[in-house]
């Protein structure tokens, strides 16, 4: 079936992170979905980790941007240039998936026009064929769920730009709900909290570190502290500040309320039999947001439904696409050191 294509690739194209799976090799790239380019010349300077390292440190003529917004491609030219950069990194040459078939993940609920636009963009750039796969289905397969049975599964994918709640059965999506808030919105809320509470201006990377190191979804977890640095808004000078995990809990707590409301709204849309299946099977958590400490216990308490976190929540979608290619993927696959970029997608 696949012999007509030189290579098979699966791309989990996320708002904050891009993961690429190559048939025969497994996951070959896991980097932030960010690019840096020179506004004067239009030259692409860097993408992925290299571009992310420039955030908050680049001169005015260097623009650093995320070409995807809320899980959807906002700028097709910048997205294709970012993917070309990644392919050159993988293959050693800038050919854009020439003679390849591409499976690319898309958020559930987007229109057919948006799906076709993504597929046509990939084909226009050199691929022989492109197939859009809805993320919750790929994530469920990547976590090892059986979707070919008449049994309901609830998948909660907490990404960088969106949170997707989907109830799956017989290989399709029965009901779904998407909210335009996720890991990156928590970062923005942390920035606003520190600014409002302490008159201290901090950057995106500092906010992300705060979320990763002392962010929590449970007030009962032992208190932790973190020393950060920023610019004093009153004096205009650098200043240090010590934050506590209980403070960040108040920021995360509002987001969690929205998340639980989305789960309830999705369950209200599904047939009673599938709701019963969800009670029995539990909720599968994946995406970078699943790494927030105590989030599984918090959702379990709020909904009364068991919650399971996928073995590799950041890589679930890419691994699921690999299974769609007929690749046997081990759930306990050791992650290489260079693949450990969980901090970039929470």
Q: Which residues does the annotation place in the binding site for ATP?
A: 160-162, 208-211, 288-291
CA distance 150 to 147: 8
The SS3 call for residue 163 is strand
Best CA proximity match to 320, nearest among 82, 312, 175: 312
CA distance 274 to 305: 13
Could you list the residues known to form a binding site, using ranges.
160-162, 208-211, 288-291
The SS3 call for residue 300 is helix
The SS3 call for residue 127 is coil
Best CA proximity match to 315, nearest among 337, 301, 302, 333: 333
CB 296 within 8 A of CB 303: no
Residues 6+ apart with CB under 8 A from 310: 139, 142, 143, 284, 285, 286, 290, 316
Tokens of 152: 């309901």
Q: From edge to edge, which strands make up the β-sheet containing 172-179?
A: 172-179, 163-169, 153-158, 283-286, 307-309
CA distance 68 to 79: 7
Best CA proximity match to 80, nearest among 110, 102, 55, 59: 102
């Amino acid at each position: 079936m696949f012999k007509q294509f030189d290579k098979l690739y699966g791309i989990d194209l996320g708002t904050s992170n891009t993961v690429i799976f190559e048939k025969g090799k497994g996951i070959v790239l896991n980097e932030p979905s960010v690019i840096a380019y020179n506004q004067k010349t239009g030259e692409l300077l860097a993408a992925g980790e290299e571009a992310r390292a420039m955030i908050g440190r680049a001169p005015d003529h260097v623009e650093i941007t995320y070409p995807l917004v809320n899980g959807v491609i906002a700028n097709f030219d910048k997205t294709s240039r970012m993917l070309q950069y990644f392919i050159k990194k993988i293959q050693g040459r800038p050919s854009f998936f020439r003679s390849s078939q591409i499976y690319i993940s898309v958020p559930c609920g987007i229109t057919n026009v948006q799906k076709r636009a993504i597929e046509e963009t990939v084909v226009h750039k050199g691929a022989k064929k492109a197939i859009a796969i809805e993320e919750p289905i790929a994530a469920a397969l990547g976590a090892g769920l059986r979707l070919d049975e008449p049994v309901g599964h609830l998948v909660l994918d907490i990404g960088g730009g969106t949170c997707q709640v989907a109830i799956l059965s017989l290989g399709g999506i029965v009901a779904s709900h998407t909210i335009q808030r996720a890991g990156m919105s928590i970062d923005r809320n942390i920035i606003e909290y520190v600014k409002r509470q302490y008159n201290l201006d901090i950057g995106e990377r500092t906010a992300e570190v705060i979320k990763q190191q002392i962010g929590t979804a449970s007030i009962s977890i032992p208190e932790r502290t973190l020393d950060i640095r920023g610019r004093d808004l009153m004096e205009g000078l650098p200043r240090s500040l010590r934050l506590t995990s209980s403070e960040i809990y108040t920021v995360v707590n509002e987001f969690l309320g929205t998340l639980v409301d989305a789960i309830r709204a999705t369950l209200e849309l599904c047939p009673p039999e599938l709701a019963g299946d969800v009670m029995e099977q539990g909720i599968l958590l994946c995406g970078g947001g699943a790494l927030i400490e105590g989030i599984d216990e918090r959702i379990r308490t709020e909904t009364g439904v068991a919650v399971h976190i996928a073995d590799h929540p950041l890589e679930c979608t890419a691994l699921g696409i690999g299974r769609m290619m007929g690749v046997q993927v081990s759930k306990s696959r050791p992650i290489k050191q260079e693949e450990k970029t969980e901090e970039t997608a929470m």
